Structure 1
């Protein structure tokens, strides 16, 4: 993709996006979820076509003043719904540009009946633009796109373009969890995340070999295990 201007017509930064927005044709039920449920679960006014002011998201208004967490790229949404159900006193924003995953999540939200999560169906960098400084208390990056070719490593989340705004929106002492089954992604994570202002909390091998106590294994993890790849669970704290 070629960058053709510095800014979107709305005034937002113009960014290249490498990935898919949509996959196979949605089922009628999934189309209904998107039409009927998504707008009510929006975290705020983040419509780049009609909102040139890019009004900041008010954390106090997202989930009734609850402490706020963020999951970046929630896939099918099983972990996001699990955390919302286990932590009713917390509000969680899930960010996912792949609309098929958003539709899957909405179906799970209906089934689980949770009401303390919000969904942004787009590039997390846009969400970072409108989140206030130090407004997020915990963040999750679970099985992100590995971009395995060396020339594509700059597209990974664990680069300054993503980590610097993440550091800005996290509160001091906030936890940042990363799960991946790709050994080179682990290497890059352990190099870049501390440079961005985070401390790795591992004290021994079990701290990255064993999942967190409140972990729910995702379909991406199950696929990795079937294919013989080893999951890594990395926990950082924002300085």
Structure 2
């Protein structure tokens, strides 16, 4: 076997986050068993799609604006956006299965049907969606990897941003929310390098949330601990 490939044939990609946390509740196991497959965006993983055949999300949602949430945490923002914007199709990628189970429970309660869930690395999705697929993308309170030697693991590196740029339509909006000052620094340095422009014109543009924002549990934790949220908006050039 080539040392640069996974047994499935996929190129080897380091993944540093967690796939599972504490034991799932019985109800969450039910959500995963009964609901996840029906909410799949299509054959994304290497095991499902070893030939990396492109998937067309218009076959799933129809001809509507498509939005992407990268790492949706507990899913409250994604469900909020799906309910507030029924004329869109949302795809969320989250490898942490506990978060996926939490989102599935929220989907049941909200009874929204315009979202799909990929429980894995967003880079796999980037491999199989056509160029210029998404009209908007969200990166909300991503793992900060605070130690300097771990900064290369952050999403705001060219390894992630270049394929994100490809997957977004020209003019698409890319939103980043974080409470970590050094993550803000790296975001403002790296995102423009990948072909985006920062849209801020004054302090309120990064100090105040977006009009359709819902505060997530991660943001509430940051506020309790005295950290200041930043809201950064970029446009894909």
Alignment of 1:75-86 (within 5 A): 75-86=73-84
Q: How many residues align?
A: 236
Q: In the alignment, which of 230, 233, 237 is matched to residue 231 of structure 2?
A: 233
Instruction: Kindly indicate whether residue 171 of structure 2 is the aligned counterpart of residue 173 of structure 1.
Output: yes
SS of residue matched to 2:10: coil
CA distance in 2, matches of 1:137, 1:150: 33
Verify: 1:70 aligned to 2:63, yes or no.
Answer: no
CA contact (8 A) 1:138 1:174 kept: yes
Confirm or deny: 8 A CA contact 2:196 2:234 kept in the other structure.
Answer: yes
In the TM superposition, what is the alpha-carbon distance from 1:62 to its structure 2 partner? 2.4
Which of residues 124, 129, 133 in structure 1 aligns to 2:127? 129
Q: Deviations along 1:131-152, whole A, 9 cap, x unmatched? A: 1100100000000000000000
Q: If the length of structure 2 is used for normalisation, what is the TM-score?
A: 0.97
Are the aligned partners of 2:45 and 2:124 in contact in 1 as well (CA < 8 Å)? no
Deviation (angstroms), 1:46: 1.7
In the other structure, the counterpart of 2:187 is 189
RMSD: 1.0
For 2:216, the equivalent position in structure 1 comes to 218
Verify the 8 A CA contact 2:74 2:100 in the aligned structure 1.
Answer: yes
| Contact preservation (8 Å) 2:19, 2:95 | yes
Contact 2:132–2:169 at 8 Å: present in 1 too?
yes
Aligned residue for 2:92, secondary structure, equals: strand
1:93 corresponds in structure 2 to 91
| CA deviations over 1:179-223 (Å, ceiling 9, x no partner) | 000000000000000111000000000000000000000000000
**Equivalent residue number for residue 200 of structure 1:** 198
In structure 1, C-alpha distance between the alignment counterparts of 2:38 and 2:95, rounded to whole Å: 17
* Structure 2 partner of 1:16: 14
Judge conservation of contact 1:70–1:94 (CA < 8 Å) in 2. Answer: yes
Distance 1:57 1:107 in 2: 26
Rate the CA distance shift 1:195–1:37 in 2: closer, same or farther, 3 A. Answer: same
The superposition leaves residues 50-74 of structure 1 with CA deviations (integer Å, 9 ceiling, x where unpaired) of: 4311221212112133211000000
Q: What residue is the counterpart of 2:36 in the other structure?
A: 38
Q: For structure 1, list consecutive stretches of 5 or more residues without a partner in the other structure.
A: none
- Distance in 1 (alpha carbons) for counterparts of 2:95 and 2:84: 25
Contact 1:140 1:177 in 2 (8 A): yes
Gap regions ≥5 residues in structure 2: none
Structure 1: 4+ residue segments shifted above 4 A? none
SS in 1 for 2:138: strand
